[in-house]
Chain A
Amino acid sequence: MVASIDHPVRTTSRRIIGDEMIVFILMTAVLAIVPMTGIYPFFVMQGLCFALLACAFNLLLGYGGLLSFGHAMFLGTAGYVCAHALKVWDVPPELGIGAGVAAAALLAVVTGVVAIRRQGIYFAMITLALAQLLYFVYLQTPFTHGEDGIQGVPQGRMFGVIDLSRPDTLYYVILGGFLFGFLVIYRAVNSPFGEVLKAIRENEQRAISLGYKTDQYKLLAYILSGTLAGLAGSLKVLVVQNASLTDVHWTMSGEIVLMTLVGGLGTVFGPVVGAFAIIAMQQYLAGFGQWVTVIQGVIFVVCVLTFRRGVVGEIAHYFKRSL
């Protein structure tokens, strides 16, 4: 990190950041003109929420090597709290989003302390079990309205002036939220903190022997990931105007994993591509009922057996670039 400017390693990493910047600007430009193209904005907004969710998940698995099989709990918790705040407490949307994010952050602190006590496969099982625990809690507590969920959540006016019930306005607010989360993750991954995280992924024992308190790094990554997943959950409530049990169910956690895997683990843009691919697939195949589950299963199997780099990972590998 303190290498001098003319150091060869430094120049390489500079070029890589250049590549990523170009792709980022392209992505932002494409997303910014969506409302003018006639593409169904609802679909893109949903995609953006899931893209942010998958990016947050990727921060943990792709860079920290921690597979959370319960990330739906952050999506669902933030969603319920945000929806409850907007509908029952009647707060403005910015406070509703904040409440959802705060709830997810709190949940991440509590579950993180428990989950990071074990590594690898156990971490996955523990996060899955914690999410299932929360699923049953939400099934029984009155404020979530059980099977019905919280319906008809008002979108309201942000800061008193921005009317979120207008689709175009809402679109740019969601896009802003997504880009904010995306850049936070990008900054974290390319910071000294991110470097230590990658070191832990590669060899935790060695990172410990170098004097890093790896548990603290992992916990911080987990909290950051959970909080940003909560942001995705809050934004999603503004888009779909409801919060329901499907967002806390283990199938949702599985979909998050699938999106990231398809796009490319440990790549910057992979989760975005993966999220849009999976959402589009669900949209187009909605008429096929349970076959969608089967197809998702097949994609899992194919990705793990032959396509472990994912779409963006393969492209990056082909051009020998980091994306």
Chain B
Amino acid sequence: MSINLQALSAQLLVGLINGSFYALLSLGLAVIFGMLNIINFAHGAVYMMGAFCAYFLLNIFGIGYWPALIIAPVLVGIFGMVMERTMLKWLAGLDNLYGLLLTFGLALIIQGVFQNYFGSSGLPYAIPDELQGGINLGFMFLPIYRGWVIVCSLVVCLATWYLIERTRLGAYLRAATENPTLVRAFGINVPRMITLTYGLGVGLAALAGVLSAPINQVRPLMGADLIIVVFAVVVIGGMGSIMGSIVTGFALGVIEGLTKYFYPEASNTVVFVLMVLVLLVKPTGLTGRAV
């Protein structure tokens, strides 16, 4: 079998891009799960909201890509914090399956409303002028925007890792994950930290949405199928470790890209098949904390 380097590297690039979205989304899921002990089923919906937010900013307010990269995650993050304060908060102490059901309902509402107004087709979002064009690397042509997405999400992932694992705020966060009552006794406002954490996780998803808007078009259901793949990523990687989520996200994107080249029929299913294999060999997931 001769390998077409051009096609292979193109698929690898697509894989890396999908991997950066998996990483950003599973990272957010892991951060939220750590603090709130719920799986945020609305994660795909807020990812979609991030993309729509960028679209509205451009088409209604004339605000371009670069400000939107900051504004959209902040706005969606605030939306998430409102959801946490008004609804998720009341689930504390209940079985965490209720959190899954509540956020599933929220996802249905958000996606349904957007579908009503925008149908199911995609809206275009132009690549910003600064990132137009591409570079010829000799063995492949690299569109600059795609390179930017990978670098940007890698930087954001590592920054989040640094924030949680290496700063004082992150130390509070990790302590509150282990024992919220004790941390509150030390005078730290844990409920506010929970709200901010949810906002952070949701903001990360929205950022991924903005990044993907010029590549995947802006669609109401763009996050609906993605979130299921991200769930499989989370099962494979386990939610115990931040770095684990990042590495697993990128790695699975690359594997998916390779599958698209070598055996395209399985590219939709490869992540799920890997999940089954991991569960059979190492049920606790690769980074291994049993839940």
Contacts and interface: CB of A to CB of B under 8 A. Distances in A.
Interface in B65-122: 87, 90-91, 94, 96-98, 100-102, 104-113, 115-116
A128 B232 CA distance: 9
A191 to B, nearest CB: 25
Contact of A129 (B107, B231, B280): B231
Interface stretch (A21-29, A47-55, A117-125, A159-167): A117-125
Contact of A121 (B39, B91, B109): B39
Interface residues on A, range: 35 or more
B268 A136 contact: yes
A115 B101 CA distance: 19
Contact of B105 (A126, A139, A299): A299
A132 interface: yes
A297 B101 contact: no
A130 B229 CA distance: 10
A122 B33 CA distance: 12
Contacts of A297: 105-110, 112
B112 A294 contact: yes
B235 A300 contact: no
Given A132-B228, A257-B101, A299-B105, A290 B276 contact: no
A37 B33 CA distance: 52
B115 A290 contact: yes
B105 A129 contact: no
Contact of A133 (B112, B224, B273, B291): B273
Interface stretch (A2-10, A301-309, A313-321): A301-309
B101 A300 contact: yes
Contacts of B97: 67, 120-121, 124
A121 B97 CA distance: 6
B215 to A, nearest CB: 22
Residue with the highest number of chain B CB atoms closer than 10 Å, among A67, A119, A261: A67
B261 interface: no
B43 to A, nearest CB: 12
A66 to B, nearest CB: 9
Contact of B39 (A125, A289, A304, A308): A125
B291 A129 contact: no
A126 B283 CA distance: 11
Interface string A96-117: 0000000000000000001101
A291 interface: yes
Contacts of A296: 105, 108, 112
A119 B291 contact: yes
Interface string B209-232: 000000000000000110011011
Interface string A5-46: 000000000000000000000000000000000000000000
B269 interface: yes
A291 B112 contact: yes
B269 to A, nearest CB: 5
A177 interface: no
B285 to A, nearest CB: 8
A322 to B, nearest CB: 21
B105 to A, nearest CB: 3
A55 B254 CA distance: 41
A216 B101 CA distance: 27
A121 B291 contact: yes
Residue with the highest number of chain B CB atoms closer than 10 Å, among A119, A136, A291: A136
Contact of A126 (B38, B91, B100, B279): B279
B14 interface: no
A160 B109 CA distance: 48
A300 B108 contact: yes
Given A291-B116, A297-B107, A305-B90, A126 B101 contact: no
Contact of B235 (A125, A132, A293): A125
Given A115-B279, A117-B279, A125-B39, 10 more contacts: A119-B291, A120-B96, A132-B225, A137-B269, A290-B112, A296-B108, A298-B109, A300-B105, A301-B87, A308-B94
7 contacts: A69-B100, A118-B279, A118-B283, A119-B291, A129-B275, A294-B108, A305-B90
Closest CB pairs A-B (n = 6): A300-B105, A297-B108, A297-B109, A293-B112, A294-B112, A133-B272
